């Protein structure tokens, strides 16, 4: 009976750890699926998917699990329908309808390039995308 308590404690701790990692993996899988659905399953051309895969690999998720999460998002397999949604809140956490307070904010993005990139090509791309600002940190 001396080892019984030790094994029971290990089993309990492992159960708690498995539950936490299961919840984290579920969130990561949903993000991978939504990312693949929004802009395709090619992680090279889809930065949101690439970031989600990097996070999943950082949490020791296997490549096989990641591939299974990408398939439903890319349309290769049928599964639940996950979509990205936006909830808006105001005045102490009250939820409001879509675009109720969205007019107060601007959607912006930032593109960075490595040092030594062709400055003319970067400026050309900025002009084509109607960039509002261009910072040169050379």
Q: In percent, how much of the chain has pLDDT > 70?
A: 88
CB 73 within 8 A of CB 37: yes
CB 134 within 8 A of CB 123: yes
Domains of the chain: 4-74 (1.10.10.200), 88-128 (no CATH)
CB 34 within 8 A of CB 74: no
Q: How many angstroms separate the CA atoms of 131 and 138, rounded? A: 19
| Residue 102: pLDDT over 70 | yes
pLDDT of residue 11: 87
Confidence of residue 63 (pLDDT cuts 50, 70, 90): very high
**Alpha helices per DSSP H over the chain:** 4-39, 47-58, 63-74, 119-128
Structure token pair of residue 46: 């889809």
CA distances from 133 to 31, 110, 127, 130 (A): 30, 10, 10, 9
Q: Look up the pTM and report it.
A: 0.52
CB 37 within 8 A of CB 49: no
Q: Give the mean pLDDT of 105-114.
A: 77
Q: Which residues of 70-107 are buried (b: 16+ CB within 10 A; e: fewer)?
A: bebbeeeeeeeebeeeeeeeeeeeeeeeeeeeeeeeee
| Residue 57: pLDDT over 90 | yes
């Amino acid at each position: 009976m001396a080892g019984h308590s030790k094994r029971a404690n290990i089993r309990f701790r492992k159960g708690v750890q498995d539950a936490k990692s299961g919840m984290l993996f579920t969130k990561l899988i949903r993000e991978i699926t939504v990312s693949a659905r929004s802009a395709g399953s090619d992680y090279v051309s889809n930065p949101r998917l690439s970031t989600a895969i990097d996070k999943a690999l950082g949490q020791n998720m296997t490549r096989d699990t990641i591939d299974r999460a990408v398939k439903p998002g890319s349309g290769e397999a049928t599964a639940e329908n996950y979509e990205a949604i936006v909830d808006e809140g105001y005045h102490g956490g009250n939820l409001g309808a879509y675009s109720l307070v969205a007019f107060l904010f601007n959607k912006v993005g930032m593109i960075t390039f490595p040092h030594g990139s062709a400055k003319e090509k970067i400026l050309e791309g900025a002009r084509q995308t109607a960039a509002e600002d261009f910072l040169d940190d050379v």
